[in-house]
Structure 1
Amino acid sequence: MSSLPALLVAVVASISGIISGAEINQLDIPDVIRNGTGPVTLSCVYDLTGSDNGLVIKWFHDEAELIYQWIPPMSPQDIGVIKGLTEYPEDAVSRPKSHSIIRLKEVTLAMSGNYTCSVSTFEEEDIKTKRMIVYAPESNATVFVTPPSSKDGPITLVCAVHGAWPRPGLTFLVDGVPVEGQFTVYPANLEEYQNQGSWVRYEATIEEPLTPVRVNCEINIPFTNYRRQEGIVYYPSSHRSTAPVDNENASSPHCASKFLEPIVSRAAETVTTNPENKVSEAQSSSFSVFPNSSSHSTSADNATGHLVHTVTTQSPDSPRSSRPTEPIPTQIIAD
């Protein structure tokens, strides 16, 4: 019975607003956003019940990393992955009893992760968490085929992709039929990925086809709607010319094209972020590789006598990439 009076006091105090409380109503963060986009707004909307004594607003990145602290009326302090990349105009700091707003000048790949807003007073705290994916399209994608090393031997399909993050998923399609392969370069995390030059490489071994086939590599970035295909047409041994190399005309695209026909297609890309920020983009295009999108050369390998056709293809996203890279040569060797 002795606890009843204390309970009644607590109820009355709560109703009268003596006990302060904080409740987060909304956490507005883009779900998916492209690397380099800006400005981008992160917003935490909350209600305070009663006094705002001891009000502190904090933001965390991936739960443990404190990136922002605001103790009104002092100015917000930011550290960690957002340090130096924020701005706080008047509208971002004018409502300390209801809004905490972080305005990012631009987003980086390191900013991907979970964001937690914490609003606390002396008596109570409330938190909410939401995930933001920052992605980057590839800056270079190369597909090539290693012909058989012996008669009736297999061929190896190779797809090498540079600059895409999160680590892209890759799939081979041979005349539209999926072919399972394996990653031979696949870094474990962003730091390792960047240290290794931001490459992933995917390979598959199949029997050499009897007729020319289209070999596509489909690139998809996890947690986004980003899809794209890069490909070539592979000509088996029975469909290649065995005539001696004409060194004078070897660099001609017409000579080269009978050994390799590049096919590059740009699938529709649609990325929509949080409606509150009204950030969206849609890109759809297709283009011919000859002669503007790639460089071609054909030459004789003095050591083996094989004819080597080199094709360098740049992704249409290259001009917008945050990490420019040199083109990667593709070599198809004709016996």
Structure 2
Amino acid sequence: MINWSTMFTFYKSNIVNTLSNVCGRQKLSLQYSAPRFPFVIAFIALTFEMANAVVKVLDLDVPESVEIGSTDEIVMVCNFVASKDEAAEMKWFYNGNIEQIYQWIPDSDKPPGAIGRFKERLDVTYSSPNPRAKYNSLKIKNVSYDLSGNYTCKISGIKSEDSQTKQLIVYSPPKSDLEIILFKNENLVICTVSGIYPMPKLDFYIVDGNDTRNIDEEIESDSDEDGFNVTARYRFDNTSLSNPTTFLCNLTIPGTDYNLYKELDYYIEDEGVIEDEDYTDWLTSNETSDEAQNITIEDSSGIANHPTVYASLLLLVTFLLLS
């Protein structure tokens, strides 16, 4: 079962090296305008390569990551070549070479078969329009987290075998926003997220001008039916920070290109100075009101509180009593 076009593309890079050895490392062109002799040698070299690699997995097309809810099915394709006289057999494995989930014999009239944990979710009727690779694909329905893992396509023949493995991650974005919260009194900053799957990676950074440095944070996590809840904590020392300082929290899901980040600017306040303009205006306004109130009190009660007035009144009362 030879797809000559595919095989020529695969072996094209190897032909030049083989011809170089045969023809004293002479550089030959593979353009169609070249003389026929190099193509004769190329055909011989191609046949030689086929004899040493009767079956070959050319490409394994497996999506690196799939967001839960974005699709109801996943298709994986294993492109391979095999010589016509080779009784090739295709097998798919999940997480290693022990748990087989699919089998197809290209030269047999038997339909492909699903095996193992995904038996009820594999669509064995799914086929490629190419008759030479009719059932070289996996179509898995009902996408869920348990599909995450390594998938191996293995092609076996009488003389040789070949395989390739790719990883698939089924993930869910967080159900809450990524947050950075600052607790000034405790010199503590936290980054938190919840309802995400699988376990994400949280990294804290301090941005100082053009300099960005990673900091050692404490990670706490737990899980529930919605996924993982993760919090990163960092206690800082004001004396080691510039003013202002930017805290940056970066979230990634390993094995995917999913990424979120959040920034928070932290201004270190000088002792006795309040930088909040609204609060300063409020404070100034209250100080003015207090001064006005004190003046009013002094004006209304100043005479009554004067010691000379008390002495005069006392003498007057004494004089009246003696009279």
TM-score normalised by length of structure 1: 0.51
Cα deviation for residue 178 of structure 1 reads 4.0
Q: Which moved more, 1:121-130 or 1:39-48?
A: 121-130
| 1:222 alignment partner, SS class | coil
Give the match's secondary structure for 2:236: strand
Q: 1: CA distance between counterparts of 2:197 and 2:224? A: 11
Q: Verify the 8 A CA contact 1:40 1:107 in the aligned structure 2.
A: yes
Q: 1:78 to 1:56 in 2, by over 3 A?
A: same
CA offsets per residue over residues 129-170 of structure 1, 9 Å max, x none? 22334443332223212232xxxxx51111112204352232
Aligned match of 2:231: 201
Task: State the Cα distance separating 1:43 from its structure 2 match.
Answer: 0.7
1:56 to 84, 89, 95: 89
Relative to total residues, which structure has the larger strand share, 1 or 2? 1
Q: Does 1:118 align with 2:154?
A: yes
Q: CA, structure 1 residues 124+212, in 2 after alignment: closer, same or farther (shift >3 Å)?
A: closer
- Structure 1 segments unaligned to the other structure (5+ residues): 1-13, 149-153, 188-192, 244-335
Matched residue, 1:280: none
Per-residue deviation, residues 239-288 of structure 1 (Å, max 9, x unmatched): 57599xxxxxxxxxxxxxxxxxxxxxxxxxxxxxxxxxxxxxxxxxxxxx
Instruction: Give matches, 1:205-284, under 5 Å.
Output: 205-208=235-238, 215-232=247-264, 238-239=274-275
Return the match for 2:114 from 65, 74, 77.
Answer: 77
Matched, 1:182 2:182: no
Please tell me whether the aligned partners of residues 25 and 46 of structure 1 are also in contact (alpha carbons under 8 angstroms).
yes
Runs of 5+ in structure 2 lacking a partner? 1-46, 283-323
Range that drifts further, 91-100 or 134-143: 91-100
Mapped pair 1:27 → 2:60? yes
Closer, same or farther: CA 104–90 of 1 in aligned 2, 3 Å:
closer
Alignment of structure 1 residues 129-148 onto 2, 5 Å: 129-140=165-176, 141-148=178-185
- Work out the CA distance in 1 between the residues paired with 2:169 and 2:151: 11
Question: Secondary structure of the residue that 1:87 maps to in structure 2?
Answer: coil
* CA distance in 2 between partners of 1:160 and 1:230 (Å): 10
Question: What amino acid maps onto 1:182 in structure 2?
Answer: E
- Tell me which residue corresponds to 1:310: none
Conservation of the 8 A alpha-carbon contact between 1:171 and 1:219: no
1:21 and 1:50 in contact (8 A); partners too: no
Quick one: which amino acid aligns to residue 229 of structure 1?
Y
Query: Which of these two proteins has the greater Rg computed from alpha carbons?
Result: 2
Give percent identity, aligned residues only.
22
Describe the shift of the 1:78–1:105 C-alpha distance in structure 2 as closer, same or farther (beyond 3 A): same
Distance 1:170 1:210 in 2: 20
Q: 2:100 aligns with which of 54, 66, 82?
A: 66
Which residue number in structure 1 is paired with residue 307 of structure 2?
Answer: none
Contact 2:197–2:227 (Cα < 8 Å) also in 1? no
The question of whether the paired residues in 2 share the 8 Å contact of 1:137 and 1:165 is answered with: no
Q: Distance in 2 between matches of 1:123 and 1:179?
A: 53
The separation in 1 between residues aligned to 2:192 and 2:115, in whole angstroms, is 38
Which position in structure 1 is the counterpart of 2:163? 127
Whether contact under 8 Å (2:221, 2:228) holds in the other structure is: no
Contact map agreement 1:114 1:132 (CA 8 A) in 2: yes
Cα deviation for residue 201 of structure 1 reads 1.7
Shift, 1:196, TM fit = 9.9
Correspondence for 1:170 among 191, 195, 203: 203
Aligned-pair CA distance for 1:116: 1.0
The change in CA–CA distance for 1:167 and 1:210 in structure 2 (over 3 A counts) is closer
Asked which structure has the greater RCO (Cα within 8 Å, sep 6+), the reply is 1
8 Å CA contact 2:74, 2:139 repeated in 1? yes
1:298-313 map, 5 Å: none
Structure 2 residue identity aligned to 1:60: F
SS at 2:136's partner residue? strand
- Superposed CA RMSD in Å reads 4.2
Q: Which of the residues 3, 18, 42 maps onto 2:76?
A: 42
Deviation at 1:29, TM superposition (A): 1.6
* Distance in 2 (alpha carbons) for counterparts of 1:197 and 1:33: 16
Contact 1:46-1:98 within 8 A present in 2 as well? no
Q: TM-score, normalised by structure 2?
A: 0.52
Q: Measure, in 2, the Cα distance between the counterparts of 1:49 and 1:179.
A: 54
